[in-house]
Amino acid sequence: MATDSLIAANDFCVYYNVEYTFINSLQEAGLVQITTVNETTYIPETELQKLERMIHLHHDLEINIAGIEAITHLLGRMEEMQENMRILKNQLRIYEQD
């Protein structure tokens, strides 16, 4: 498997000054995906933005894993509702033009 779009978890932990156990706990909670290639753990680039947000929640606001899980769930629900509102507004525009 190519590791072009993967970041070594150890490098990530050093750069962000976080313990690997924190990332592993997030992965166990289903909040981020990590990949293992040749006994080395990697983080996909697509997970970086989510992971950075969770690190800030943990460090800056001192929120634990359960709290991060709840916040992530609520943010996901909010994004779904915003998308639904956008769709409904677009549908209403069709009727307003008549």
Evaluate if pTM is beyond 0.85. Answer: no
pLDDT grade, residue 34 (50/70/90)? very high
Q: How much is the pLDDT for 30?
A: 94
Residue 95 has what pLDDT? Answer: 84
| Cβ-Cβ contacts under 8 Å for 40 (sequence gap 6 or more) | 8, 9
**Torsion from C-alpha of 76, 81, 84, 86, nearest 10 degrees:** -100
pLDDT, one tens digit per residue, over 43-76 is 999 999 999 999 999 999 999 999 999 999 999 9
CATH-assigned architecture of domain 6-96: Orthogonal Bundle (1.10)
Q: Is the pLDDT score of 80 beyond 60? A: yes
Residue 86 predicted with pLDDT over 80: yes
The domain spans of the chain are 6-96
